[in-house]
Amino acid sequence: MNQDHNVTLYLAPIRGITDALYRNTFVRYFSGFDLAMAPFVSTQQGNRIKPGHLRDLETEKNRALPIIPQILSKDPDHFITLAQALIDQGHKQINWNLGCPYPMVANKKRGSGLLPYPNRIASFLEKIKKLPVDLSIKTRLGRFQADEILQLLPIFNNFPLTELIIHPRTGKQMYKGKVDLKTFGQCLEQSRHPVIYNGDITDEGVFLQLKDRFKKVEGWMIGRAALADPFLPARIKKIPLQRDKRELIRLFHDDIFSRYQKILFGPSHILGRMKGLWFYLSQSFTNSRKILKKIQKTKSLQKYNEIVKQIFSEEEWIR
Ligand SMILES: Cc1cc2nc3c(=O)[nH]c(=O)nc-3n(C[C@H](O)[C@H](O)[C@H](O)COP(=O)(O)O)c2cc1C
């Protein structure tokens, strides 16, 4: 089987999970991703930058898997402040988040909440285009309606974007319902920028169908399915496995667990992180619901260790 070098795969940003520690540990055990988009950062009240927010994005911390940092903002001056700090860190590309669907964000006209306002988006881009950095946008199709994006594409086309990453859902859909491939196809035809597809690439079969249908797509971004099944990007690229899957997952788990114990204080923080991880990983084990329930109930590291030991000795990896 030949490896597929023509496919570019991005790890999607999943806030609360795909931080630098996760990304670096991931690539120690699994292959296939070419780069990752980091979860968004934003300024604090009064256009202040919280230094902790930028620490995860330092280029020397992200050598194993190159990253594109992402900013969530509706204020061009705030965007410029943050972008400048990211440029100082050595980043060559910055992404603007126009996709976040959570009402707390969208109601304030941030993320997908900006999509019904083409004029605001145009004037935002006008103000930030002077930044000496490549800009890309990650967007949904709209906040309320899938055709909101059709008003936006001429605006996007007017600015020198490096790429446009499209998750073909509306903000209102959150993560439910189907991806709208028909409207995605229209976007692909109308965009003068390279388009990256993102959303519900759940296995290599789905990927192949999408690749066959949308030949102009220049890259593919995978989030939740890769968190549940970290072997998926390698399968898509036909990279052979060197070791037993369950053994690799165990090594990955133990590694990430011990690293979180070194940087986080107190069992509740550490367990919080591990529970987030298991929300996805459990989906690839037999008795997934039972496993997840047990993990979610855990309050001590000792009990957590016992449960994990039991999972790896009793359950099968099903992917
Ligand atoms: C818990 C969670 C956190 C997310 N955080 C971000 C984020 O910080 N920035 C962003 O652009 N998208 C974020 N997303 C959206 C994903 O990057 C991606 O667009 C979405 O999950 C669809 O892709 P998938 O079906 O491959 O997961 C998040 C999604 C989830 C479920």
- pLDDT tens-place string over residues 284-313: 999 999 999 999 999 999 999 999 999 999
Would you say residue 110 has pLDDT above 90? yes
Cα separation of 175 and 177, whole Å? 7
Q: Is the pLDDT of residue 274 over 80?
A: yes
Q: Which amino acid is at 246?
A: R
Please give the number of the atom of ligand 1 that sits closest to the Cα of 167.
19
Q: Taking phi first (over 0 means left), then psi (-120 to 50 degrees means alpha), and beta for anything else, what does residue 67 get?
A: beta
What residues are in contact with ligand 1 under a 6 Å CB criterion?
Answer: 12-16, 39-40, 70, 97, 99, 138, 167, 175, 198-201, 222-225
Mean pLDDT of the residues in the chain? 96
Can you tell me the mean pLDDT for 163-177?
98
Is residue 318 within 8 A of residue 286, CB to CB? The reply is yes
**pLDDT score recorded for residue 50:** 85
Tell me: pLDDT of 173 over 60.
Answer: yes
Atom 1 of ligand 1, residue of closest alpha carbon: 14
Residue 313, C-beta contacts closer than 8 angstroms, at least 6 positions apart: none
Angle at 82 between CA 80 and CA 87, to 5 degrees: 90
pLDDT of 270 > 70? The answer is yes
Region 115-130 average pLDDT: 98
The H-or-E segment that residue 263 falls in is helix 245-263
Residue 145: CB atoms within 10 Å: 14
Pocket test for ligand 1, best of 11, 15, 57, 104 (most atoms within 8 A of CB): 15
Quote the ligand 1 centre to 189 CA distance (angstroms). 24
Kindly state the average pLDDT of the residues 35-42: 97
Task: Say what the pLDDT of residue 51 is.
Answer: 84
At 1 the pLDDT is: 56
What is the Å distance from ligand 1's center to 118 Cα? 23
Split at pLDDT 50, 70, 90, the class of 171 is very high
Answer yes or no: is pLDDT of 46 > 80: no
Distance CA 277, CA 289 (A): 14
Question: Tell me: the pLDDT tens digits for 216-237?
Answer: 999 999 999 999 999 999 999 9
Would you state the pLDDT for residue 4? 77
Of 15, 182, 217, 18, give the one whose Cα is nearest residue 99.
Answer: 15
Burial of 243 (0-12, 13-18, 19+ CB in 10 A): exposed
For position 2, what pLDDT does the model report?
66
Is the predicted pLDDT of residue 28 greater than 60, yes or no?
A: yes
The pLDDT of residue 237 is 97
pTM over 0.95: yes
Give the strands of the sheet with 9-11, arranged side by side.
67-68, 35-37, 9-11, 219-222, 195-198, 161-170, 134-142, 93-98, 70-71
Residue 52 has pLDDT above 90, yes or no: no
Indicate if the pLDDT at residue 93 is higher than 60: yes
Residue 218 tokens read as 């220049």
In the chain, what percentage of residues exceed pLDDT 90? 94
Distance 140 CA to ligand 1 centre (A): 11
What's the gap in Å between 300 CA and the centre of ligand 1?
A: 29
Instruction: Assess whether pLDDT exceeds 70 at residue 204.
Output: yes
